[in-house]
Amino acid sequence: MSLDWLDRTVTTSTYLWRLERADGVALGFTSHDRDLVIDGFRYRAAPGMVPSSIALSDSLEVDNVEIAGVMTSAAIAVADLEAGRWDGALLYISLADWQQPEAEPLPLICGEFGEIVRSGDSFTVEMLGATSFLDEPVAPLTSPTCRAEFGDYQCKLSLRRYQREGQVLSVDGDTIAIEALGDAASDFAFGSLRFLDGPNCGLSYAIVDGEAAVVRLADPPAETVAPGARVLLTEGCNKNFATCRDRFSNSINFRGEPYLPGNDLLTRYPGA
């Protein structure tokens, strides 16, 4: 990698941001006053977006950086921030030569969006670097319920077997009636609902309960939901051993200790 352009008397460097949302949308911004096209990807001019100081090291310290900006770009809308479209988005920051866009950029930091704080028309994003995951516990704590997420590499069940597409019949706050769901709505408790079209396309919501053909979400949809909107429903699991054994026949992959005595063992009433 040649970085001769960093040694020039007059600097020609510019910051590049590449953002990739969880719904597949990828956006590019640059601190330069003109758009740049690098490797076929367009970075829009956004001089108002400024990163905090970035320190690179080979230590195990957490590489965090805060990005403050003004919502001058229509691509980063207030409604999208409030709807959670940017939660968990991936972010890559690099330094490039705006006079020679074909030159290889200098990678600075990469990670995912953490806490997003709004203040008026401005926003501040905390970016969590790769080393932030070192804060997670090395050994899991024991628990009577399953520690795996339904359908992940520990659970080993294929989510496709427990998903169903349908159309919205009606919406009343946080409750949604789904066509062709029959009386199976209760199976989707602790699951999720993802919108496949309409203003909420790409957004997922946790399902807390269900009855007949109606599911109740943890939060109301961010935008208006029209009848006929397509949704993808994924069944949920309450993480109890009996559910894992009887409903999913997956007790061999249960990640919990249902028969391990708890902290209340010494205070239990005899015979309880």
> Which CATH number does the domain housing residue 171 bear?
2.40.30.20
Residue at 266 is within a domain: no
Q: Are residues 20 and 113 in the same domain?
A: yes
Residue at 147 is within a domain: no
Residue at 208 is within a domain: yes
Residue with tokens 């946790």: 206
Dump the DSSP string for 106-129: EEEEEEEEEEEEEETTEEEEEEEE
In the three-class reduction of DSSP (H, G, I as helix; E, B as strand; rest coil), residue 59 is classed as: coil
- pLDDT of amino acid 199: 86
Q: pLDDT below 50 — which residues of the chain?
A: 62, 70-71
Distance CA 38, CA 2 (A): 16
Q: Are residues 123 and 188 in the same domain?
A: no
Q: Are residues 8 and 128 in the same domain?
A: yes
Q: Are residues 48 and 94 in the same domain?
A: yes
Residue at 265 is within a domain: no
Q: What is the extent of the structural domain holding 104?
A: 4-132
- pLDDT of amino acid 62: 46
Q: Are residues 18 and 61 in the same domain?
A: yes
Q: Describe the strand order of the beta sheet including 90-97 as a list of residue ranges.
A: 36-38, 41-45, 26-30, 13-20, 90-97, 106-119, 122-129, 64-70, 50-51
| Segment 238-247 long-range contacts (CB within 8 Å, at least 24 positions apart) | 238/145, 238/189, 238/190, 239/145, 239/146, 239/190, 240/145, 240/146, 241/144, 241/146, 244/146
Distance of CA 263 to the CA centre of its chain: 34
Q: Are residues 120 and 163 in the same domain?
A: no
Residue at 268 is within a domain: no
Q: What is the pTM of this model?
A: 0.67
Could you tell me which of 178, 44, 69, 177 has the C-alpha nearest to residue 121? Answer: 69
In the three-class reduction of DSSP (H, G, I as helix; E, B as strand; rest coil), residue 165 is classed as: strand
Q: Are residues 44 and 124 in the same domain?
A: yes
User: In CATH, what number is assigned to the domain containing residue 32?
Assistant: 2.30.110
Q: Are residues 8 and 110 in the same domain?
A: yes
Residue at 139 is within a domain: no
- pLDDT of amino acid 122: 66
Q: Are residues 63 and 19 in the same domain?
A: yes
- pLDDT of amino acid 29: 84
Residue at 169 is within a domain: yes
Q: Are residues 115 and 176 in the same domain?
A: no
- pLDDT of amino acid 246: 93
Residue at 267 is within a domain: no
| Domain count of the fold of the chain | 2
Q: Are residues 107 and 166 in the same domain?
A: no
Q: Are residues 75 and 169 in the same domain?
A: no
